Structure 1
Amino acid sequence: MELTISPYQAYRNNMEFFYSFTTKTEGELNQPIQKGKWSIKEIIGHIYFWDLFLLEDMVPEMKDSGVLPNFPEHDEYNNKAIHSIKSFSSTNDLLEEFVITRKKLISNMEKLNQEVKFTIGNNKRNFTPQTFLGMFVEHDIHHMEQIKNMAD
Structure 2
Amino acid sequence: MRQAEKNEYPQHKYFSRYIEYSDSQDVIEMLVKQKEEVFFLLKNLTEIQQSYRYAEGKWSIKELVGHITDTERIFSYRSLCIARGEKAPLPGFDENEYMAMSNFSEQSFESLLEQYRLVRESSIALYASMTEEIASRMGNANGFEVSARAYAWAIAGHEAHHISILKERYLS
Superposition TM-score tier, normalisation by shorter sequence? 0.7 to 0.9
CA contact (8 A) 2:63 2:105 kept: no
Alpha-carbon offset, residue 106 of structure 1? 1.4
The CA distance in 2 between the partners of 1:41 and 1:5, in whole Å, is 30
**Match of 2:11?**
none
Q: Structure 1, unaligned stretches of length 5 or more?
A: none
Alignment of 1:108-119 (within 5 A): 108-116=126-134, 117-119=137-139
Alpha-carbon offset, residue 31 of structure 1? 0.7
CA contact (8 A) 1:33 1:40 kept: no
Alpha-carbon offset, residue 46 of structure 1? 0.5
Please state whether the residue corresponding to 2:70 is helix, strand or coil: helix
**Match of 2:155?**
136
Please state whether the residue corresponding to 1:24 is helix, strand or coil: coil
Q: Alpha carbon RMSD of aligned pairs, Å?
A: 2.5
The CA distance in 1 between the partners of 2:115 and 2:57, in whole Å, is 26
**Match of 2:37?**
17
Give the 4+ runs in structure 1 shifted more than 6 A. none
Q: Which amino acid aligns with 1:118?
A: M
Q: 1:128–1:101: structure 2 CA closer, same or farther, 3 Å change rule?
A: closer
Q: Which amino acid aligns with 1:63?
A: A
Give the length in aligned residue pairs.
144
Alpha-carbon offset, residue 149 of structure 1? 0.9
Q: Which amino acid aligns with 1:94?
A: L
TM-score normalised to structure 1 length = 0.78
CA contact (8 A) 1:18 1:44 kept: no
CA contact (8 A) 1:115 1:128 kept: no
Q: For 1:88-128, what per-residue CA distance to the aligned partner results, in whole angstroms no more than 9, with x for missing partners?
A: 2x21221012101110121022212232321223423x424
Q: Which amino acid aligns with 1:93?
A: S
Relative CO higher for 1 or 2, CA cutoff 8 Å, sep ≥ 6? 2
Q: 1:79–1:18: structure 2 CA closer, same or farther, 3 Å change rule?
A: farther
Please state whether the residue corresponding to 2:139 is helix, strand or coil: strand
The answer on 1:31 being equivalent to 2:52 is yes
The answer on 1:72 being equivalent to 2:93 is yes
Please state whether the residue corresponding to 1:149 is helix, strand or coil: helix
The answer on 1:146 being equivalent to 2:142 is no
Q: For 1:60-88, what per-residue CA distance to the aligned partner results, in whole angstroms no more than 9, with x for missing partners?
A: 313275446132233322333xx232452
The CA distance in 2 between the partners of 1:64 and 1:120, in whole Å, is 13
**Match of 1:127?**
147
**Match of 1:104?**
122
Deviates more, 1:21-30 or 1:7-16: 7-16
